[in-house]
């Protein structure tokens, strides 16, 4: 967690003391507080190599809300799943938490993700092909619990004319379409717990931690007077 604290301090410093961007390309808003809502769909899965089955959380679609404050250098988002997969009788057995902490300024973009899921189904595709079962016999496993912590940081090369923040928060708006190459590092932590599913004779508690580097490109496409389409991609190496 020391690395997370260090990156958070660096993002805070750069956000508060970074120089201004080119006003012809990026406009800063003066609002004190902004609230946003959004829809999302996650495709989180993991695979049990011993059985060849994939597992998906009982819920993975929902709505979210985000808050941004002018004097707070981060954008905080909370997401709540609302649509079940599988029989309705298992809906009450599902617990999930999904939070994001974003810190963007002229030079850097940083994201922290905290995800927790409880209750998984065996993937329909793998269950059907490997076990030769009907889709209606999809197995539900309430004992599987997954916790995931991801931290990703990027440096923005074209920081005079491109705003990474404009794609996510209400603090800035891209005026002219522009993009930038990015390079950064990431930390990933994953924990999977189960009473009896993954190892049939005993409970299990699996943990993994990986670090890596990444490079990519981000672009803001401006259309209309108040509309922006943001897209980004990256390729990374983890160890």
Confidence of residue 106 (pLDDT cuts 50, 70, 90): confident
Confidence of residue 162 (pLDDT cuts 50, 70, 90): very high
Q: Which residue has the higher pLDDT, 21 or 7?
A: 21
pLDDT for position 133: 46
Nearest to 232 by CA among 166, 148, 149: 166
Is the pLDDT at 22 greater than 60? The verdict is yes
77 and 98 Cβ atoms separated by less than 8 Å: no
110 and 153 Cβ atoms separated by less than 8 Å: yes
Tokens of 228: 């922006």
Confidence of residue 207 (pLDDT cuts 50, 70, 90): confident
111 vs 234: CA distance, rounded Å: 14
pLDDT tens, position by position, 168-193: 766 788 899 999 999 999 999 999 88
- 128: helix, coil or strand? helix
């Amino acid at each position: 967690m020391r690395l997370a604290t260090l990156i958070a301090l660096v993002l805070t410093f750069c956000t508060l003391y970074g120089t201004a961007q080119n006003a012809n390309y990026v406009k800063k808003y003066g609002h004190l507080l902004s609230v946003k809502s959004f829809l999302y769909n996650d495709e989180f899965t993991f695979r049990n190599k011993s059985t060849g089955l994939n597992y998906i959380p009982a819920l993975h679609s929902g709505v979210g809300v985000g808050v941004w404050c002018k004097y707070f250098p981060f954008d905080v988002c909370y997401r709540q799943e609302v649509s079940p997969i599988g029989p309705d009788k298992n809906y009450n057995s599902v617990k999930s938490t999904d939070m994001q902490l974003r810190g963007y300024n002229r030079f850097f973009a940083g994201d922290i993700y905290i995800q927790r899921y409880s209750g998984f189904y065996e993937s329909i595709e793998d269950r059907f092909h490997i076990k030769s079962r009907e889709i209606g016999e999809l197995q539900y496993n309430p004992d599987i619990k997954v916790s995931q912590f991801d931290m990703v940081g990027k440096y923005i090369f074209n920081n005079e004319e491109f705003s990474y923040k404009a794609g996510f928060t209400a603090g800035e708006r891209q005026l002219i379409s522009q993009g930038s190459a990015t390079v950064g590092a990431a930390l990933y932590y994953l924990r999977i717990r189960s009473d009896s599913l993954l190892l049939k004779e005993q409970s299990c508690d699996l943990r993994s931690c990986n670090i890596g580097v990444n490079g990519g490109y981000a672009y803001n496409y401006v259309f209309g007077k108040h509309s922006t389409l943001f897209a980004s991609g990256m390729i990374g190496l983890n160890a």
